[in-house]
């Protein structure tokens, strides 16, 4: 039986922090717009900031749908499901905001992510999510699967990039500066990486 929660703490927080994978869902306001669903992983890229606020690192990629949707309307849902242990699904429905490198909050937010070097992944934003509705449900139909390790491919691909080459990469992809529906995505060029953020 599903349950609603007022905050992310205790058993719920432990469950979220133990999962190696979560999903994000966003959509534009237009009724015929493209709904986006993205898997997120990489150990250390998610942080629970307080009992109603989460953040995750948004790395280089070929699309920026989540950022575009959040810039337009802020709606986001995060979902975790147990692939081992007791069957559980947790969803956090809330409001999200992309925080970029020139935001005064950037250094403090980045400090919350230990154990991962954002320079290895072409970090382009930190997504901050404020929970409005927190709930769980049974995961009876979710299969058992075993987590082995993070794939090294993303870091291998982007660790060699500089701010300048990343900007070239983002501009070369059709849906970084704008979403597939034409909404503003990444503000290009991205602000330069602050010196304090290097080598975290």
Predicted pLDDT of residue 196: 55
The pLDDT confidence band at residue 194, using thresholds 50, 70 and 90, is: confident
* CA distance linking residue 7 with residue 133, whole number of Å: 9
**Selection from 149, 166, 167 nearest residue 157 by Cα:** 166
Predicted pLDDT of residue 70: 98
Write out pLDDT tens, residues 133-170. 999 999 999 999 999 999 999 999 999 899 999 999 99
Predicted pLDDT of residue 180: 97
Predicted pLDDT of residue 119: 84
Domains and CATH numbers, the chain: 3-191 (2.30.110.10)
Dihedrals phi, psi of 132, to nearest 5 degrees:
-115, -30
CA 2 to chain centre: 25
Write out pLDDT tens, residues 11-56. 999 999 999 999 999 999 999 999 999 999 999 999 999 999 999 9
């Amino acid at each position: 039986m599903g349950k609603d929660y007022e905050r992310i703490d205790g058993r719920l927080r432990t469950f979220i922090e133990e999962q190696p994978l979560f999903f994000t869902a966003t959509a534009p306001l237009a009724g015929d717009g493209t709904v986006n669903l993205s898997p997120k992983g990489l150990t250390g890229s998610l942080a629970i900031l307080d009992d109603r606020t989460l953040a995750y690192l948004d790395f280089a990629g070929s699309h920026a749908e989540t950022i575009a949707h959040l810039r337009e309307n802020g709606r986001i849902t995060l979902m975790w499901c147990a692939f081992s242990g007791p069957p559980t699904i947790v969803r956090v429905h809330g409001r999200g905001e992309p925080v970029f490198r020139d935001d005064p909050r950037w250094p403090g937010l980045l400090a919350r992510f230990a154990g991962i070097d954002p320079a290895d992944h072409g970090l382009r934003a930190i997504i901050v999510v404020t929970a409005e509705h927190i709930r769980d449900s049974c995961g009876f139909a979710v299969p058992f699967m075993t987590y082995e390790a993070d794939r090294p491919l993303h870091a291998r691909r982007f660790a060699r990039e500089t701010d300048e080459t990343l900007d070239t990469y983002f501009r070369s992809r059709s849906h970084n500066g704008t979403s597939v529906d034409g909404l503003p995505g990444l503000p290009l060029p991205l602000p330069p990486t602050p010196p304090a953020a290097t080598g975290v």
